[in-house]
Amino acid sequence: MVKIAARDRLILALDVPSAAEADRLLDRLQGHISFVKVGLELYTAAGPEMVKRIVERGMRVFLDLKFLDIEETVRRATSRVAAMGVEFLTIHANRKALTAAVQGREGSSLKLLAVTVLTNFDGQDLREMGIQRTVQDLVTARALLASEVGCDGVVASGEEAAAIRQKVGPHFVVVTPGVRPAGKGVDDHSDDSDADHCIRRRLSCDRPTYSRCGRPVSHGGGHHRGDAGGLRCTRVKKVNSHLVSRQ
């Protein structure tokens, strides 16, 4: 198994509404971060051109679009993503959609991550959808499905990572969202995981685990807008210093 440097396990979520704001944030963090996530908001605003610019900076891209559609649409869309030079792409954990995505990325280095259960869902949400299973049972079952059809990993909460490893094995990529400095709120994720917690419980260097840090960095957290850029950069530096010191 290839060892992943601790610093490279941190993914910055570009949760900003425009290409201009994304570019400003990336300029400030150049040299401090190597892996970024582009989600629905930024992709809707700036499209493939934003992804191209990030790749041209020499950064790795996690495209979090959570594909779920008929097979041919997913296959063709995944093929287009692969051609952009993206490293990670998310697909909802439906057998037909996952299989189509595996076909669409054929011949590329694109890695496919199944979205098992959205991390803001709880047991009540599942029951309202007619699913009579616990969140953890459904997560591990869908992780196993993703592995069986040829996906590379999953997006799951930090509390579920150990169960996924036990079910699927140590080779599977796990990306855990919702990382934030200690004391910050949970936003809309049920799992509240601060940076030091992630280092201790998730970022063991012999397993392909990544953690995503988003709003505490991309938003000013109530500080004056003029101070936000420095605050963002400081937070990333602090998280990276934690990672390097424990590598």
| Residue 12 belongs to a domain | yes
Instruction: For residue 209, give both structure tokens.
Output: 């685990």
Q: What distance in Å separates the CA atoms of residue 194 and residue 12, rounded to the nearest whole number?
A: 14
| Residue 158 belongs to a domain | yes
Buried-state track 1-25, b at ≥16 Cβ within 10 A, e below 16: eeebebbebbbbbbbbeebebbbeb
Domain extent at residue 105: 6-245
Name 223's Cβ contacts closer than 8 Å, sequence gap at least 6.
Answer: 231
Pair type for strands 111-115 and 153-155: parallel
Question: Which residue shows structure tokens 């397993």?
Answer: 207
| Residue 30 belongs to a domain | yes
Task: Judge contact between 57 and 34, C-beta under 8 A.
Answer: no
pLDDT of residue 210: 86
Per-residue pLDDT of the chain (247 residues; tens, 9 = 90+): 556 776 788 899 999 999 999 999 999 998 889 999 999 999 999 999 999 999 999 999 999 999 999 999 999 999 999 999 999 999 999 999 999 999 999 999 999 999 999 988 999 999 999 999 999 999 999 999 999 999 999 999 888 888 999 999 988 999 998 655 545 444 554 554 455 555 455 444 455 678 877 655 555 543 333 344 444 455 554 544 444 333 3
As for how many domains the chain has, the answer is 1
Q: What distance in Å separates the CA atoms of residue 33 and residue 233, rounded to the nearest whole number?
A: 10
pLDDT of residue 51: 98
pLDDT of residue 247: 37
CB atoms within 10 A of CB 241: 12
The CATH number of whichever domain residue 217 belongs to comes to 3.20.20.70
| Residue 1 belongs to a domain | no
Active site residue 3: no
Catalytic residue among 66, 111, 167, 184: 66
Q: Please give the model's pTM, rounded to 2 decimal places.
A: 0.80
